[in-house]
Amino acid sequence: MEKNTRLILALDVLDSDEAIRISEAVTGHVDAIKVGYPLVLASGLQIIGKLAEYASIIADFKVADIPNTNRLICEQVFDAGADAVIVQGFTGHDSLEICVDLARERNKDIFVVTEMSHPGALDLMQDAGEKIARMAADQKASGVVAPATRPERVKEIRKIIGNELAIISPGVGAQGGSAADTIMAGTDWVIVGRKIYQSDDPAKAAKDIVSEIKDVL
């Protein structure tokens, strides 16, 4: 994924025509488009290949199974045309390792969820977040997912993983996080969904976020 605008669109719409229309509109303003269960379950896995015409595709399936099942899932997703897959880290080193190995073979990326962005992540996930970040660094994953809703946690996670791994951060806009604060805390890309795809003018919404990011660089 090229680091240009430092913005990733989370495209959680359900209709494939709408997904294509928005992707076309934001071309050039986003470095990647993140698709997840809502769009893929509603419109089929082939949407990944269609959207890959507009930007790099990150498949947010938060893969969280035993190693063999994780590998089978990642193979399907890479075969469908995704450039990267988001996997959970809490399942442990072997479940992660098989995904990272496969991605390396295919010249693709794995991003590992550390601590999620919603309030409930404080119940259980935050305690494990730093350990997961260390594991992702040890295994040389491409990067981690860390919460834009808690820039201070992004800073902590950056200290743990160093500069070899990337950080991608959801939670900007609808969840209350700020793109500028998250970039200043050390994230490489912010992930923004509703603030862009629910806007009357998704291209302008994306452009505004990119200028907010550029202002603090």
Q: Does 170 bind ligand NUP (CB under 6 A)?
A: yes
Annotated active-site residue 65? The verdict is yes
- The annotation status of 175 as a binding-site residue, yes or no, is yes
DSSP summary character for residue 174:
T
Among residues 68 and 122, whose Cβ is nearest to ligand NUP? 122
Site for ligand NUP in 81-140 (CB under 6 A): 86, 113, 116-117
User: Interface with ligand NUP includes 186 (CB under 6 A)?
Assistant: no
Which one of residues 13, 54, 60, 137 is an interface residue with ligand NUP (CB under 6 A)?
A: 60
61: helix, strand or coil: strand
Tokens of 153: 């946690």
> How far out from the chain centre does Cα 65 lie?
19
Q: Which is nearer to ligand NUP, 139 or 199 (CB)?
A: 199
8 Å CB contact between 33 and 11: yes
Which residues make Cβ contacts (< 8 Å) with residue 139, sequence separation at least 6? Answer: 93, 96, 97, 100
**3 state DSSP class of 80:** coil
Catalytic residue among 50, 62, 204, 207: 62
Q: Is 126 annotated as a binding residue?
A: no
The reply to whether 59 sits near ligand NUP by the rule CB under 6 A is no
Applying CB under 6 A, among 174, 199, 204, 212 the residue interacting with ligand NUP is: 174
Residue numbers of the site for ligand NUP (CB under 6 A)?
10, 12, 36, 60, 86, 113, 116-117, 145, 147, 170-171, 173-175, 191-195
